[in-house]
């Protein structure tokens, strides 16, 4: 990693692995249900799914279960988060997903190598979220799905209007359906096919 990174729970900082337990609070399911989010990804059993910024893997057990014949790849800037996500998967009886450590501004994957990419509460921690979305578009196959979920109260939250502007600037097309109102939203976009 060549850029300077800042860790903390404030705006623009990377959420530190030492506080990962906060992301695993059981009350979170009322705001962010892992099965519901997985449903929105429209995954087929053989899908290739990239989860960027999984943290300690709150969603990763469910995501891995949905692609038994495909591939779920964990990608995070903090190797400690990747280790936690894989350990939680193992404890839940799920084969740990392959994990890659790196910066989402430069994804170490070939063009068009995934069917879907999901980012939950991640984009606002990345300086240049539009550049990140360009990278995501590059690694998605034509027609591939980008799914971004954000929660109210998160200091790094990106509002839907801003997200849509960034995603369209990166060449994505907004998918049909409203992203939702309330404590969290999930917006979907398609890579041009």
Task: Decide whether 8 or 142 has the Cβ nearer to ligand SAM.
Answer: 8
Terminal-residue alpha carbon distance, the chain: 32
Task: Decide whether 67 or 121 has the Cβ nearer to ligand SAM.
Answer: 121
Among 103, 131, 162, 175, the residue binding ligand SAM under the rule CB under 6 A is 103
From the CB of 62, what's the least distance to ligand SAM, in Å?
Answer: 12
Residue 177, token pair as written in the block? 């359906």
From the CB of 193, what's the least distance to ligand SAM, in Å?
Answer: 26
Handedness of CA 163, 168, 170, 171 (dihedral sign): positive
Among 116, 126, 139, 170, the residue binding ligand SAM under the rule CB under 6 A is 126
Q: Stretches 39-47, 75-83, 88-96, 182-190: which one binds ligand SAM (CB under 6 A)?
A: 75-83
Q: What is the per-residue binding string for ligand SAM in 32-71, x denoting contact by CB under 6 A?
A: --------------------xxxx--x-------------
Cα 75 vs. chain centroid, distance in angstroms? 9
Q: What is the per-residue binding string for ligand SAM in 151-190, x denoting contact by CB under 6 A?
A: ----------------------------------------
Among 67, 73, 94, 120, the residue binding ligand SAM under the rule CB under 6 A is 120
What distance in Å separates the CA atoms of residue 77 and residue 154, rounded to the nearest whole number?
A: 19
Which string of DSSP letters, residue by residue, matches 86-133? Answer: HHHHHHTT-PPPPEEES-TTS--S-TT-EEEEEEES-GGGSSSHHHHH
From the CB of 126, what's the least distance to ligand SAM, in Å?
Answer: 4
What distance in Å separates the CA atoms of residue 143 and residue 112, rounded to the nearest whole number?
A: 10
Paired residues of 119 in beta bridges: 52, 148
Which string of DSSP letters, residue by residue, matches 140-193? Answer: EEEEEEEEEEEETT-TTPPPHHHHHHHHHHTT-EEPSS----SSEEEEEEE---
What distance in Å separates the CA atoms of residue 172 and residue 179, rounded to the nearest whole number?
A: 15
Q: Stretches 63-71, 116-124, 140-148, 162-170: which one binds ligand SAM (CB under 6 A)?
A: 116-124
Q: Stretches 62-70, 77-85, 88-96, 169-177: which one binds ligand SAM (CB under 6 A)?
A: 77-85
């Amino acid at each position: 990693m060549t850029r300077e990174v800042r860790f903390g729970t404030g705006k623009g900082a990377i959420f530190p692995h030492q506080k990962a337990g906060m992301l695993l609070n059981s009350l979170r399911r009322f705001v962010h249900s892992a099965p519901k989010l997985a449903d929105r990804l429209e995954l087929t059993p053989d899908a290739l799914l990239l989860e960027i910024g999984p943290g300690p893997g709150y969603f990763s057990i469910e995501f891995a279960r949905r692609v038994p014949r495909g591939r779920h790849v964990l990608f995070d800037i903090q190797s400690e988060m990747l280790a936690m996500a894989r350990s939680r998967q193992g404890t839940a009886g799920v084969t740990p997903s392959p994990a890659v450590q790196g910066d989402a501004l430069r994804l170490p994957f070939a063009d068009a190598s995934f069917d879907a990419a999901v980012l939950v509460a991640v984009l606002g921690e990345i300086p240049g979220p539009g550049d990140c979305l360009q990278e995501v578009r590059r690694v998605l196959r034509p027609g591939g799905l980008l799914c971004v979920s954000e929660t109210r109260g998160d200091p790094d939250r990106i509002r839907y209007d801003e997200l849509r502007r960034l995603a369209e600037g990166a060449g994505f097309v907004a998918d049909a359906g409203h992203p939702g109102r309330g404590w969290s939203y999930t917006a979907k976009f398609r890579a041009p096919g």
